[in-house]
Amino acid sequence: MAQNGEPSRDALVNRQLPEMQLSDGSSSSMTAPPPPAPPYLTTEGRAVYRFNVEGNAIITGGAGTLALEGARALLEHGLSGLALFDLNPQQAAEPIAALKTDFPDAKIITKTVDVRDAESIGTAVKETARQLGSVDVLCCFAGVVGCTHALDMSVEEWKRTMDINSTGSFLCAQAVARQMVDQKSGGAIVFIASMSGHRVNFPQPQAAYNVSKASLLHLKNCLAAEWSRYGIRVNSISPGYMDTILNEGAGLERARTVWANRNPMGRMGVPQELTGPLVLLCSAAGSYINAADIIVDGGAIVF
């Protein structure tokens, strides 16, 4: 070691780099082709089978509007169990109760989790696996947004945005992937990135948010490369402006007008318009979709 505690130059130039291992795609691997649909299925049965979501899912930011809409869709497509992770799951007590009523055969639980806390995440994932039997799907909806001019942004705001949106997604994916590897089951991980990870927003300044979401786009590429051999697919969805409570209020009228006027479809999206891509990526229909990003923005990023 050098005197300042850093590795010496000799240690750096002579070290052995670890190497990632890719799957060979054989029938005995975790990336073998899926079996064909059972021949006894009717046409309707084959359609249901194609988009069937098996096993149990963890959804972070689970008390949010988009997350709850996604949870309902996954349950409609066959999800057996669901764990909603959120810093304050009680804020969505009513819609969560509605999920339990509407899907009595599914086991639905909530856990108070801060996605910045690796220990808390690890404990919650293990508890979920024990309570539900396995963890087969992870959807990372937890996130924050702030609109601050870059010249005025505090380091605390920058770090908080990156910690929740980027590092938080990695920590949750890492904990769930470790569980999937232990299960030898494979699974699907979906990051909720953003149109903002592809383009600079207008008219609002939000550099920290944009960079945090852009990092997710490359993170899913890295993890898809490393984890495919375990049968883990990692993809992302990039929503455009969605018409939720976060984008409402008198102070946002000008911005909402700009967002609509700059969109080829002339409007914002609604929450259920994210559910189709989510089901695709988590279901049998997405078995060969890996390291992909699905942009759901009405065409906004063409400009």
Residue 69, judged by CB atoms within 10 A of its CB (0-12, 13-18, 19+), counts as buried
Residue 104 and residue 82: Cα distance in Å, rounded? Answer: 12
Question: Which stretches of the chain are DSSP H helices?
Answer: 9-13, 43-50, 65-76, 93-102, 118-132, 155-162, 168-183, 207-227, 253-261, 275-282
Residue 214 and residue 218: Cα distance in Å, rounded? Answer: 7
Residue 41 and residue 128: Cα distance in Å, rounded? Answer: 33
49 is an active site residue: no
Q: Rounded to the nearest 5°, which phi and psi values hold at 138?
A: -130, 130
213 is an active site residue: yes
293-296 and 232-239 strand pairing: parallel
CB within 8 Å of 58: residues ≥ 6 apart: 83, 85, 125, 128, 135, 137, 138, 139, 172, 176
Residue 190 and residue 169: Cα distance in Å, rounded? Answer: 10
Residue 252 and residue 250: Cα distance in Å, rounded? Answer: 5
Q: One of 169, 196, 209, 230 is an active-site residue; which one?
A: 209
Instruction: Decide: 243 and 268 in contact? Cβ < 8 Å.
Output: yes
Q: One of 134, 194, 228, 238 is an active-site residue; which one?
A: 194
100 is an active site residue: no
Q: One of 80, 111, 213, 215 is an active-site residue; which one?
A: 213
Q: Given the structure tokens 């592809």, which residue do they identify?
A: 198
Give percent helix, percent strand, percent coil of the chain, each to the nearest 5: 50, 15, 40
Instruction: Decide: 153 and 162 in contact? Cβ < 8 Å.
Output: no
Catalytic (active-site) positions: 194, 209, 213
